[in-house]
Amino acid sequence: MMLHVSFSFAQLPDTGLGGFTDGVIISMTDNPSFTTPAVALPDISTALVVFRDALDGMTQGGPMATAVKNAARAVLLDLLRQEANYVEGLAMSDMAMLLSSGFFAASKNRAQEPLAKPIIKGITNKASTQLAVRVGAVRNAVAFEVRISVGAGAPQPAGTFTKASRIIVTGLTPGTMYTVQARAVGGSTGYSDWSDPVSHMAL
C-alpha cells in the first residue's frame, strides 16, 4: 500500500514550524534516497531565514509585521508541500525511506481524535544549563511544546520539538530548580492538555 506524507506540519505553531523545517533540511542533506529534491535545500533554508527574521520582527507588534510574517510562513509552507510530494512519490510503500526525509507519514486512521495528555517519563542533565526531557509518545501528535517555570513564577515557553525523544531545553541557570510541562501538538483539537509537572535542577 502506498504511503502518504502527512501535511500536518502546516498546523504547527510558528516556532514549531521552524524546528520541523530544520529537521527536514538536516534529514535530506546528503540523503542517498532523495538526491534530486523538488525544491533545492538551500532554497528552503533561505525561506526559513526569511520566516524567522519576520518572526523576530513581530516583537514590535503591529498588523504590518504580522502580515509580513504570515506571507513568509506561506512561502515556506508551499516549499515544504512541494518537497513532501516529492518524498511521497519516491518512498511509495517504504516507511523507513519516507521517515528518513524528516517528514512524517499520514495516519491511516481517518477518524480524528483529541490528543492524549503526554507523560514526562524522565528529565536528566544533558549538559551544563541544559535539561533533556523524555516524553512518552502520543498518537497523532506532530510535535511537543514545552514550558518551564521557577517557583511560583508564570510558565515560560521553552520551545517546540518534533520528536519526543529529542527534547533539549537550553539556556537554564545552574543550581535552579525548574518545573517542566509538555503538551502535544496536532490531532483534531490542535493541542493536548499540559502534562503533569515534573521538577528537576539544572547544573
**pLDDT bucket at 106, cuts 50 / 70 / 90:** confident
Residues 14 and 94 in one domain: yes
Residues 16 and 46 in one domain: yes
pLDDT for res 143:
81
Residue 177 has pLDDT above 60, yes or no: yes
Residues 48 and 129 in one domain: no
Residue 187 has pLDDT above 80, yes or no: no
Residues 170 and 128 in one domain: yes
Residues 93 and 20 in one domain: yes
**pLDDT bucket at 107, cuts 50 / 70 / 90:** low
Asked if residue 115 belongs to a domain, the reply is: no
Express each pLDDT in 7-27 by its tens digit.
888 888 888 888 889 889 988
Question: Which of 68, 99, 130 delimits the end of a domain?
Answer: 99
Residues 139 and 185 in one domain: yes
Asked if residue 113 belongs to a domain, the reply is: no
> pTM for the complete prediction?
0.64
The CATH number that applies at residue 129 is 2.60.40.10
pLDDT for res 185:
82
Asked if residue 72 belongs to a domain, the reply is: yes
Asked if residue 114 belongs to a domain, the reply is: no
Q: Which of 179, 98, 83 is nearest to 131 (CA)?
A: 179
Asked if residue 80 belongs to a domain, the reply is: yes
Residue 118 has pLDDT above 80, yes or no: yes
**C-alpha Rg value of the chain to the nearest Å:** 18
Asked if residue 3 belongs to a domain, the reply is: no
Question: Which of 35, 66, 99 delimits the end of a domain?
Answer: 99
Express each pLDDT in 21-60 by its tens digit.
988 998 899 999 999 999 999 999 999 999 999 999 988 7
Residues 80 and 142 in one domain: no
Which CB contacts under 8 angstroms, 24+ apart, belong to 196-199? 196/117, 196/119, 196/120, 198/120, 198/123
Residue 177: is it exposed, middle or buried by C-beta count within 10 angstroms (0-12/13-18/19+)? Answer: exposed
Express each pLDDT in 78-96 by its tens digit.
999 999 999 999 999 998 8
Question: Which of 48, 65, 99 delimits the end of a domain?
Answer: 99
Asked if residue 104 belongs to a domain, the reply is: no
Express each pLDDT in 124-176 by its tens digit.
999 999 999 999 999 888 788 899 999 999 999 888 787 888 899 999 999 99
Residues 78 and 129 in one domain: no
- The parent domain of residue 58 ranges over 8-99
Residues 76 and 131 in one domain: no
Number of compact structural domains in the chain: 2
Residues 18 and 83 in one domain: yes
Residues 84 and 127 in one domain: no
Q: Which of 27, 13, 44 is nearest to 142 (CA)?
A: 13
Asked if residue 67 belongs to a domain, the reply is: yes
